[in-house]
Amino acid sequence: MSNSKTLRAGLLAPVHDLDPQTGRDFVGATIIEQVFETPLEPAEEITRPARPLLFSEGLTSESGGRTFSAPVRDGVRFSDGTPLTAELMAQILSQADRLAGQARVEARDDRVLFHLDHPASRFDHVLTHRYCEIGLRKDGEILGTGPYRVAADSAPERIHLVANPERPAPPEIEELEFVAYPPDDDGVPRALLQAFEAGEVEFSNVLSREHIAGLKGVRKWLEPGIATASLYFNTERPAVQDVRVRRALALAIDRTEVARISYRNPMVFTATGLLPPLMGTWRDGISHDPKKAAALLAEAGDARPTRLSMFMVYGPRPYLPHPRPVADHLVEVLAALGIEVTVRQAESMHHFFREIERGDYDLVLSGWVADTADPADFLYALLSPEAIPSPDRRIVIDGNLSRWRNVRVQEALEHYRRDPSEDNKAAVLEPVAEEMPLLPLMYGPTVYVYSLRISGFKPSPLGIPRFADLSLEG
């Protein structure tokens, strides 16, 4: 690629949804965040307060922590020239379903006010989430204030972004192309790796550390990730409604052996709890114990299943670089318990989300990538009844693939959101370890691979880079 004004990034699947209110996939989020901006952005260190982006300063607390406010930055315009005002930002944020469940939003002069339903110690992190991205719906389009806008010739297999003409300082890289290179049937992303070797692609954040090991003439950046792969048990299905059955399945699985399928040093990535390492630790106490698993199944009696269906992600993910071999391993493990597992793999991202909304599965092999730096948000996405996927409600946060409803946990989540103490964290996670709606399998690292021509690269705490900060040499 010789054009210094265009950068091509490689994906593993087409992107069908670039709406910040409904886009639910990490890959789509990588593109969305080049077009739309949030009031605040994550700090470079994940534990620090969020920084102003569309606001000109950080949040000011009022009314004893029940109201926060901040002024909108002067001179911000959408890509059609429409100025961003406090009134317009408040109107857009008021339409965000997820935010509506936490705060009432209004404008006062040049400030946006957030009246919280409940105190939240880390409300600043909420305003970094992509459901808070400011998109102006106009004439059938969604316009952003970010450094790029979506070009008219975009298609799911090739998303084309061009510089936003309303930005005071246009990005040095004027155009971005996000091109899908689907992996082969065995899950290996050969087409994308070959595109890197041929110089057709110069950036990707969707490849695993194992896949990029053989690439030469590129830069590689690896760091601890914020994602967890899990085996979800659909608690609405009779086959896995009994807690003894779910615990038996969990005890039968050696998580280190699962991690060994994907990583040369499996102990580093073996999950010991739901939260990924960068969000703190909490051990669930589940150890591989086939004898105890068999005993629990015998104790379950008529509730013991003989057949289960497993639905799995459509291809390699940041937390699951080799989904098919992992699924095959789990089939073998459960077969040793006398349980036959049939595996069905999603054909695409769109197909995956459509099927999990239907809930027609006993098990799901998938995972979750953090959307914010707040562990309370991560746990909410996986455990809250409000995060159960449903075809009747389009939501961004729909990670509760276990379809688990637990009043005790829901109340604990609210307490943890208000007060992020270790005791409140334990109150959320202890019932999870007891009832086992899902089994965390392994943690996923954040992996970047990029061309030697790229300069100015800095890793993002949430795994999504800002391409407007980059430049291309030559």
Q: What is the pLDDT of residues 120-149, one digit of tens each?
A: 778 888 898 888 999 999 988 999 999 999
pLDDT at 2: 44
- Whether residue 72 is predicted with pLDDT greater than 90 in this model: the reply is yes
Task: For 72-217, list the strands marked E by DSSP.
Answer: 103-108, 111-116, 136-138, 141-143, 148-150, 158-163, 175-180, 203-204
pLDDT at 424: 94
Distance of CA 148 to the CA centre of its chain: 22
Angle between helices 422-435 and 407-418 (to 10 degrees): 160
Over residues 410-421, the mean pLDDT reads: 89
Task: For 2-135, list the strands marked E by DSSP.
Answer: 6-11, 40-41, 51-52, 60-62, 67-71, 103-108, 111-116
Per CATH, the architecture of 225-445 is what? Roll (3.10)
pLDDT at 23: 66
For the chain, the structural domain boundaries read 6-20+23-33+146-217+452-472, 40-138, 225-445
pLDDT at 57: 95
Q: Which fold does the domain 6-20+23-33+146-217+452-472 belong to in CATH?
A: D-Maltodextrin-Binding Protein; domain 2 (3.40.190)
Over residues 275-291, the mean pLDDT reads: 91
Lowest model confidence (mean pLDDT) among 3-7, 47-51, 222-226: 3-7
pLDDT at 392: 74
pLDDT at 22: 74
Over residues 306-332, the mean pLDDT reads: 93
Do 6-20+23-33+146-217+452-472 and 225-445 share a fold?
no
pLDDT at 131: 83
CB atoms within 10 A of CB 267: 9
How many Å apart are CA 270 and CA 442, to the nearest integer?
5
Q: Nearest-5° angle of CA 81, CA 87, CA 91? A: 95
> What does pTM read for this prediction?
0.80
322-372: per-residue pLDDT in tens? 899 999 999 999 999 999 999 999 988 788 988 999 999 999 999 998 887
pLDDT at 464: 83
pLDDT at 454: 94
H helices, E strands: number in the chain: 14, 20
Per CATH, the architecture of 40-138 is what? 3-Layer(aba) Sandwich (3.40)
Over residues 61-88, the mean pLDDT reads: 92
Lowest model confidence (mean pLDDT) among 161-175, 323-337, 452-466: 452-466
Side-chain half-sphere exposure of 60, counting CA atoms within 13 A:
11
